[in-house]
Structure 1
Amino acid sequence: MRGNALVFWMIVGLVVVAACSKDTKGAEPVHTPTPYQLKVPRGFPPPLLNPDNPLTVEGVELGRHLFYEKKLSRDNTLSCASCHKQEFAFSDAPNRFSKGVDGLSGSFNAMHIVNMAWLQHFFWDGRSPSLEEQSFHPVVDPLELNTTWESVLEKLRQTPKYPPMFKKAFGTEEITVERVTKAIAQFERTLISGNSKFDQWQRGEAQLTELELFGFTLFETERGDCFHCHGSTTTGNLFGAFGQLVFTNNGLEPDATMPPGRMNVTGNPADRGKFKIPSLRNVAVTFPYFHDGRFQNLQEVIEFYNMGGHPSNTIDPNMKAAGVGRNWTQYEKSALLAFLNTLTDVEFLTNPAFSDPNEE
Structure 2
Amino acid sequence: MLFLSIALMYACSKNEDEITPEEKLITFSVPSNFPAPAYNFEENKLSNAGFALGKKLFYDARLSADKSVSCGSCHQQFAAFANLDHKVSHGVDNCQGKRNAPPLFNLAWQKAFFWDGGVKNLETSPLNAITDACEMGTNIESIIAFLKSTGPYPEMFKQAFGSTEINSQLLLKSLTQFMGVLVSGNSKYDKVMRKEGGISFSTEEQAGYTLFKANCVSCHSEPFFTDFSYRSNGLDLVSIDEGRSHITGVHSDFGKFRVPTLRNIEYTGPYMHDGRFYNLDEVLEHYNSGVKAPENLDSTLKNGIQLNSSERTQIKAFLKTLTDNEFIKNTLYSES
TM-score by length of 2: 0.88
Q: How does 1:260-271 map to 2 (within 5 A)?
A: 260-271=242-253
Structure 1, residues 223-251: CA drift from partner, whole Å, max 9, x if none? xx10011132xxxx111134xxx211112
Q: Does 1:139 align with 2:135?
A: no
Work out whether residues 54 and 175 of structure 2, in 8 Å CA contact, stay in contact via their aligned partners in 1: yes
Corresponding position of 1:347: 326
Corresponding position of 1:38: 28
1:81 to 56, 72, 83: 72
Shift of 1:94: 3.4
Structure 1, residues 310-356: CA drift from partner, whole Å, max 9, x if none? 222212222241xxx44321111111111111111111111111111
Corresponding position of 1:8: none
Shift of 1:210: 0.9
Work out whether residues 65 and 92 of structure 2, in 8 Å CA contact, stay in contact via their aligned partners in 1: yes
Q: Alignment partner of 1:39: what SS?
A: strand
Q: How does 1:117-196 map to 2 (within 5 A)?
A: 117-196=108-187
Corresponding position of 1:21: none
Corresponding position of 1:253: 236
Q: Does 1:292 align with 2:274?
A: yes
2:219 to 212, 217, 229: 229
1:108 to 96, 99, 102: 99
Work out whether residues 34 and 58 of structure 1, in 8 Å CA contact, stay in contact via their aligned partners in 2: no
Question: Max radius of gyration: which structure?
Answer: 1
Work out whether residues 33 and 194 of structure 2, in 8 Å CA contact, stay in contact via their aligned partners in 1: no
Shift of 1:157: 1.4
Q: Does 1:310 align with 2:292?
A: yes
Q: Alignment partner of 1:38: what SS?
A: strand
Shift of 1:258: 5.7
Q: How does 1:16-55 map to 2 (within 5 A)?
A: 34=9, 37-50=27-40, 52-55=43-46
Shift of 1:308: 6.4
Q: Does 1:92 align with 2:83?
A: yes
Moved over 6 A (4+): none
- Mapped partners of 2:290, 2:33: distance in 1: 31
Which amino acid in the other structure matches residue 225 of structure 2?
A: F
Corresponding position of 1:239: 225
Work out whether residues 251 and 310 of structure 1, in 8 Å CA contact, stay in contact via their aligned partners in 2: yes
1:277 to 228, 247, 259: 259
Gaps of 5+ in 1: 1-32
Which amino acid in the other structure matches residue 189 of structure 2?
A: F
Work out whether residues 84 and 112 of structure 1, in 8 Å CA contact, stay in contact via their aligned partners in 2: yes
- Mapped partners of 1:160, 1:346: distance in 2: 34
Shift of 1:257: 4.1
Work out whether residues 247 and 275 of structure 1, in 8 Å CA contact, stay in contact via their aligned partners in 2: yes
Gaps of 5+ in 2: 1-7, 11-25
Corresponding position of 1:16: none
Corresponding position of 2:5: none
Which amino acid in the other structure matches residue 271 of structure 2?
A: Y
- Mapped partners of 2:167, 2:36: distance in 1: 30
Q: Does 1:56 align with 2:47?
A: yes
Corresponding position of 1:10: none
The number of aligned residues is 311
| Comparing 80-89 and 312-321, the one that deviates more | 312-321
1:211 to 169, 186, 204: 204
TM-score by length of 1: 0.82
Work out whether residues 66 and 184 of structure 1, in 8 Å CA contact, stay in contact via their aligned partners in 2: yes
- Mapped partners of 2:255, 2:94: distance in 1: 28
RMSD: 1.8
Q: Alignment partner of 2:31: what SS?
A: coil
Work out whether residues 205 and 318 of structure 2, in 8 Å CA contact, stay in contact via their aligned partners in 1: yes
| Comparing 198-207 and 279-288, the one that deviates more | 198-207
